[in-house]
Amino acid sequence: MSEHQQQLQRCFILIDLLIQEIDTVTEKPLPMTVTLRERLELSQETLIELFEDVYAKSNIKRTSFFQTVQEKVNYIINIQEKKLFKI
* Tens-place pLDDT, residues 54-72: 666 655 566 777 788 889 9
Cβ-Cβ contacts under 8 Å for 37 (sequence gap 6 or more): 19, 22, 23, 29
Report pLDDT for 60: 55
Global model pTM greater than 0.75: no
| pLDDT score of 21 more than 70 | yes
Domain boundaries, the chain: 3-85
pLDDT at 65: 78
- What number is the average pLDDT over the span 25-46? 84
CA 77 to chain centre: 14
